[in-house]
Amino acid sequence: MNEIYKKYFSNRYDRSVTMTFYSLFINSAICLFNFGLAIYFSEAWFSLNATYYLLLALAKAYVLRLDYKAKLILNDTERFNVEYKVYRKSGSLIWLLAIVYAGIGLWMYYGENATIYKGNAVFMFALVALIKIYFAIRGMTIAKRIKSPLITTIKILNVANAMVALVVTQATLMSYVLFPHAITYSSYTAMACAFVMFVMGIHMNCSKKMHIDSTAKYR
Mean pLDDT across the stretch 138-165? 84
- What tens digit of pLDDT does each residue of 47-105 get? 888 888 898 899 899 999 888 888 888 787 888 888 888 888 888 989 998 998 898 88
- Highest-confidence range of 42-51, 62-71, 123-132, by mean pLDDT? 62-71
Amino acid identity at 93: L
pLDDT at position 202: 93
Q: For residue 198, is pLDDT > 90?
A: yes
3-class DSSP state for residue 115? coil
Integer Cα distance of 209 and 66 in angstroms: 19
Q: Is the pLDDT of residue 148 over 50?
A: yes
- What is the per-residue pLDDT for 138? 84
d(CA 155, CA 152): 5
Band of pLDDT at residue 199, cut at 50, 70 and 90: very high
Phi/psi at 96 (5° precision): -65, -40
d(CA 200, CA 45): 25
pLDDT surpasses 50 at 5: no
Percent of the chain residues topping a pLDDT of 70:
85
* 35 neighbors 46 (Cβ within 8 angstroms): yes
Q: Output the pLDDT for position 218.
A: 47
The reply to whether the predicted model has a pTM over 0.75 is: yes
Closest C-alpha among 21, 56, 28, 20 to residue 142: 20
Q: Binning pLDDT at 50, 70 and 90, where does residue 112 land?
A: low
Mean pLDDT, rounded, of the chain: 80
Task: Tell me: pLDDT of 157 over 70.
Answer: yes
- What is the C-alpha separation between 141 and 145, in angstroms, rounded? 7
Tell me, what's the pLDDT at 186? 85
pLDDT tens for 10-28 read: 577 778 888 888 889 988 9
* Predicted pLDDT at 215: 47
Whole-number Cα distances in Å, 96 to 87, 195, 196: 15, 11, 12
Residue 113 CA to residue 121 CA, distance in Å, equals 18
Asked if residue 24 lies in contact with residue 63, where contact means CB atoms within 8 angstroms, the answer is no
3-state secondary structure 145-171: HHCCHHHHHHHHHHHHHHHHHHHHHHH
Confidence of residue 196 (pLDDT cuts 50, 70, 90): very high
199 touches 79 (CB < 8 A): no
Residue 14, CA atoms < 13 Å, CB-side half-sphere: 10
Q: Would you give the end-to-end CA distance of the chain in angstroms?
A: 20
